[in-house]
Structure formats: structure tokens, C-alpha cells
């Protein structure tokens, strides 16, 4: 018999996901492709500087030579108020539909919708961005991770969204080894970004499989997203523990729960309790 989460625990688990996500407590996604922050907001001075570096790279490649286009791009990324940013972004896309800067503008809009937790527009904007740049690691990992965390099984398109998250995350893992280093990143920053992106993609896949009750594949992915050398997401460790319990690997489950229980946050007490329960299963 599968050891699925009881109904109340599922609700607590979903709330913990949301709390961790909104509060920025998840270690994965602190850095993703092209040095962009994989957090709900991308409007700080550091990310603005990153996007201006990207503008320089586009111009070096012969794109974005129109001063009005460049000024419109800069105005978009300098806007701090979400409604204004959305207005400027959509205006840019309408006025410059074939611009080399359309994809980074789509990404900027994605970040605004992400901050607003407007998931419908996040996913639609991701599709538009990837149509322009299919290997954008930031979009692949960010949206691939968000979908299973904010998944609702009763949604009409729930299965299709999980399929999309799986496709995005698998493609991210394929992209990482061959991606070129951005000119404005140091070697150390580039290595750290690729490492974090891989952890985030495996985390997303693990949760996709968990949602499907495919505990074996979920455990394999979560083990890759929670190496002992990293500071893992406690949610990943909790899911790994549940996976391993369902596979009757109680000692390994207790270890995963114990690691989670050492990390402050909304899942800490639940993980400690689950570790004790898994240890009791070992003795039986």
C-alpha cells in the first residue's frame, strides 16, 4: 500500500510550498541563466545592470541600433511599478515585433507576472519567450519549477501543465552543459549559475513525478537536487522522504526527513515528526 500524504497533510504541504516560495526561502533558483535572478522580482539594480549588459551584447551582434528602440528597452527595465512595466513591455513588443530585444522584454514581463503570482500570464509569456529563444535556461528552469509547486489537480489543464514542466526541466538539463558563458559573468559565477540551474531542474522534475505518484523517479530526481554538498530546499528533502517511505526505504527516508528537520522553516516540525515515524518503521 502506498504511503501517500493524508488529506490534512496535503493541505499543510501545499501551504508550506506557498510560504516557502513567496518568502524566497528556497535555495534553488537564486541564480539562473544569463545571471538573472530566479526570484519573483527582477527589478533591482543588479538585474537592471544585467539586462543592460545583455543590451550591449545584442548591439555588438548588430541588433538594436535604433536609439528609440534602445530607449524604450531601457525605460521598460527601469520601470519599478508593475502596471507601468507591463504597459511598457507590451508597448515595446507591439512597436518592435522583430526586435532582437523582444525575448529579454518577454522575460522581464514574465518576472512581473511571477511577482504578481499571475500564473496564467507567467506560463503564456514563457511560451512566447521560448518561441524566440528555445534554450533560455532562465525561463526553462523558473517556469519548470513554478508549475509543480503551484499545481492544482482539479485544474482543467493540470496534466498538460505537468507535461510542460517536465519538458522544460528536461530541456534545461540538456542545455546546461553546452551553454556559452555570458561576457559579463566571471568563470566562478558561470559555474555557480549552471550548478544551481541543474539543481533547480532536478527539483522540478522530482516534484512533477511526485505529483504523478511516481515515487521511484521522483526520488531519483530529488536525490540529485539535494546533494550533501549543497544547501537544499527543505521541500525537496520532505518530498524525498515521502518518496522513500513509499518505496519502503525507511532508513533513507528517516535521513531525508532528519536533514529537513535541521532547517528552520514551515516544514521543520513536520519533518522531525516524519523522521521519528520513519525510524519506527525501521524497527518493525
pLDDT in tens, 67-112: 888 889 889 988 989 999 999 999 999 999 988 889 989 999 999 9
Q: What is the CA radius of gyration of the chain?
A: 20
Alpha-carbon dihedral of residues 148, 152, 154, 159, nearest 10 degrees?
A: -10
CA dist., res. 70 & res. 37, Å (int):
22
Query: What pLDDT was estimated at residue 273?
Result: 96
Query: What pLDDT was estimated at residue 45?
Result: 41
The residues of the chain scoring below 50 in pLDDT are 1-46
Query: What pLDDT was estimated at residue 254?
Result: 97
CA distances from 152 to 109, 148, 273 (A): 24, 9, 26
Q: What is the pTM of this model?
A: 0.81
Architecture of domain 35-189: Alpha Horseshoe (1.25)
Amino acid at each position: 500500500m502506498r504511503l501517500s500524504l493524508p488529506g490534512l497533510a496535503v493541505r499543510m504541504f501545499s501551504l508550506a510550498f506557498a510560504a516557502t516560495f513567496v518568502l524566497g526561502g528556497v535555495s534553488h533558483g537564486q541564480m539562473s541563466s544569463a545571471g538573472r535572478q530566479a526570484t519573483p522580482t527582477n527589478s533591482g539594480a543588479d538585474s537592471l545592470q544585467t539586462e543592460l549588459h545583455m543590451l550591449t551584447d545584442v548591439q555588438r551582434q548588430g541588433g538594436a541600433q535604433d536609439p528609440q528602440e534602445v530607449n524604450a528597452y531601457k525605460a521598460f527595465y527601469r520601470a519599478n511599478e508593475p502596471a507601468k512595466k507591463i504597459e511598457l513591455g507590451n508597448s515595446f513588443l507591439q512597436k518592435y515585433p522583430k526586435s532582437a530585444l523582444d525575448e529579454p522584454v518577454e522575460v522581464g514581463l514574465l518576472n512581473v507576472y511571477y511577482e504578481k503570482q499571475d500564473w496564467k500570464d507567467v506560463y503564456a509569456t514563457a511560451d512566447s519567450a521560448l518561441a524566440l529563444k528555445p534554450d533560455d535556461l532562465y525561463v526553462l528552469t523558473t517556469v519548470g519549477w513554478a508549475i509543480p509547486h503551484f499545481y492544482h489537480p482539479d485544474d482543467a489543464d493540470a496534466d498538460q501543465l505537468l507535461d510542460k514542466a517536465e519538458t522544460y526541466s528536461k530541456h534545461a538539463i540538456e542545455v546546461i552543459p553546452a551553454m556559452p558563458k555570458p561576457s559579463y559573468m566571471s568563470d566562478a559565477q558561470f559555474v555557480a549559475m549552471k550548478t544551481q540551474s541543474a539543481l533547480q531542474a532536478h527539483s522540478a522534475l522530482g516534484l512533477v513525478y511526485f505529483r504523478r505518484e511516481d515515487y521511484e523517479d521522483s526520488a531519483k530526481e530529488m536525490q540529485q537536487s539535494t546533494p550533501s554538498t549543497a544547501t537544499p530546499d527543505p521541500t525537496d528533502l520532505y518530498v524525498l522522504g515521502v518518496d522513500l517511505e513509499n518505496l519502503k526505504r525507511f532508513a533513507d527516508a528517516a535521513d531525508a526527513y532528519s536533514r529537513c528537520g535541521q532547517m528552520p522553516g514551515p516544514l521543520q516540525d513536520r519533518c522531525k515528526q516524519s523522521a521519528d515515524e520513519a525510524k519506527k518503521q525501521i524497527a518493525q
